[in-house]
């Protein structure tokens, strides 16, 4: 499957996941109202927010596939990074709200219809699990999809928690199990959400990816005609596209006809060694010889 085919499949799956999430939300609102389960109602509100997040992610996914133009010369890939950032921040806020609500419910347990709670939680679990599987493959290579996948994972784990809690409610009338499980799940989710937030902030701030610049310099200097590298900048457009801008000092006997060949060699070396996808070089003779690597 080509990268373009993958993007198209992902777009379709975003739509299916959105429809599934809306169905889950309605089911849990109704089930929570008739069972008296605050857990189901809280999960329904969570799913409602997730539906909006999926729409944002889907829109960003579509926008991100647009070609570059004179106004957006690097294209629209950052739309997906922005969506991932927003969705991850929202996920952190919702997770913290879940923790607060869980502590409140621990101190104020309420009567719950355990059987109805179990039935609705199973429906939610099945639909959320299917939604999660639809986004699993794309989440490994796309922060926007990963952020949405985490939302689906949150819902799936919440449904598991509600189901387990319903068993204890039915057998032992232990209503406190539901908020306790929610707290445990929330701690893990905060860790995962923090990872996405951190990565998106680094990309938006144009921080250097995890690449050793000294190693980059050493690789470029393996080309005999290049004697020095300076004014190096490395950043990311999104998590899959690394850019490099640098000045190279070439030997004085190097002529203009040889520069194209040098550029091609540097492009290939950096692509093979560091997966740098876009390289811009400025060739110089004596200018910048006294500068450091990042000056």
Domain-ending residue, one of 205, 224, 257: 205
> Does residue 292 form part of some domain?
no
Q: pLDDT band for 72, please (50, 70, 90 cuts).
A: confident
The more confidently predicted of residues 29 and 229 is: 229
> Does residue 77 form part of some domain?
yes
pLDDT exceeds cutoff 70 at 2: no
Q: Are both 105 and 81 inside the same structural domain?
A: yes
Residue 211: how many other CB atoms lie within 10 Å: 17
pLDDT of residue 8: 46
pLDDT exceeds cutoff 60 at 264: yes
Q: Are both 152 and 44 inside the same structural domain?
A: yes
> Does residue 13 form part of some domain?
yes
Domain-ending residue, one of 186, 205, 224: 205
> Does residue 295 form part of some domain?
no
Q: Are both 155 and 65 inside the same structural domain?
A: yes
Q: Are both 198 and 223 inside the same structural domain?
A: no
Sheet (strand 276-284) strand order: 226-238, 241-250, 276-284
Separation in Å, CA 78 to CA 63, 95, 169, 287: 9, 25, 46, 34
Q: Are both 147 and 17 inside the same structural domain?
A: yes
Q: Are both 166 and 255 inside the same structural domain?
A: no
For residue 246, give the CATH number of its domain. Answer: 3.30.70.1350
Q: Are both 159 and 257 inside the same structural domain?
A: no
Q: pLDDT band for 10, please (50, 70, 90 cuts).
A: low
pLDDT of residue 6: 44
Q: Are both 195 and 249 inside the same structural domain?
A: no
Q: Are both 110 and 227 inside the same structural domain?
A: no
Q: Are both 227 and 142 inside the same structural domain?
A: no
Provide the domain count of the chain.
2
Domain-ending residue, one of 205, 236, 266: 205
Q: Are both 123 and 186 inside the same structural domain?
A: yes
pLDDT digits (tens, 9 = 90+) for 212-262: 999 999 999 999 889 899 999 999 888 778 999 999 988 877 776 788 888
pLDDT exceeds cutoff 60 at 117: yes
> Does residue 245 form part of some domain?
yes
pTM: 0.70
For residue 157, give the CATH number of its domain. Answer: 1.20.1510
Q: b vs e for 216-234, b when ≥16 Cβ sit within 10 Å of the residue's Cβ?
A: bbebbeeeebbebbbbbeb
State which residues form the domain around 175. 3-205
pLDDT digits (tens, 9 = 90+) for 183-206: 777 787 787 778 888 888 988 888
Q: Are both 33 and 146 inside the same structural domain?
A: yes
């Amino acid at each position: 499957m080509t990268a373009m085919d993958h993007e198209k499949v992902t777009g379709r799956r975003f739509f299916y996941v959105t429809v599934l999430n809306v169905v889950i939300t309605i089911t849990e609102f109704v089930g929570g109202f008739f069972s008296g389960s605050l857990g189901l109602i809280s999960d329904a509100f969570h799913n409602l927010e997730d539906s909006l997040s999926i729409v944002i992610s889907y829109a960003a996914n579509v926008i991100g596939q647009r070609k570059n133009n004179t106004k957006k010369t690097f294209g629209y890939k950052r739309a997906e990074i922005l969506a991932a950032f927003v969705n991850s921040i929202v996920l952190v806020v919702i997770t913290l709200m879940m923790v607060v609500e869980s502590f409140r419910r621990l101190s104020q347990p309420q009567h719950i219809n355990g059987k109805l709670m179990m039935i609705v939680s199973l429906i939610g679990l099945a639909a959320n699990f299917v939604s999660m599987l639809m986004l699993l493959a794309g989440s490994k290579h796309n922060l926007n999809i990963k952020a949405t996948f985490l939302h689906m994972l949150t819902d799936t784990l919440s449904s598991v928690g509600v189901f387990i809690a319903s068993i204890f409610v039915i057998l032992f009338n232990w209503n406190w199990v539901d908020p306790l499980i929610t707290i445990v799940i929330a701690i893990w989710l905060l860790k995962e959400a923090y990872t996405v937030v951190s990565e998106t902030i680094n990309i938006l701030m144009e921080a250097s990816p995890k690449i050793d610049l000294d190693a980059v310099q050493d690789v470029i200097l393996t080309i005999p005609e290049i004697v020095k590298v300076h004014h190096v900048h490395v950043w990311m457009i999104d998590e899959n596209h690394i850019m490099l801008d640098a000045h190279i000092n070439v030997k004085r006997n190097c002529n203009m006809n040889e520069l194209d060949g040098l550029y091609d060699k540097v492009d290939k070396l950096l692509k093979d060694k560091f997966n740098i996808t876009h390289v811009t070089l400025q060739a110089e003779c004596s200018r910048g010889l006294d500068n450091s690597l990042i000056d």
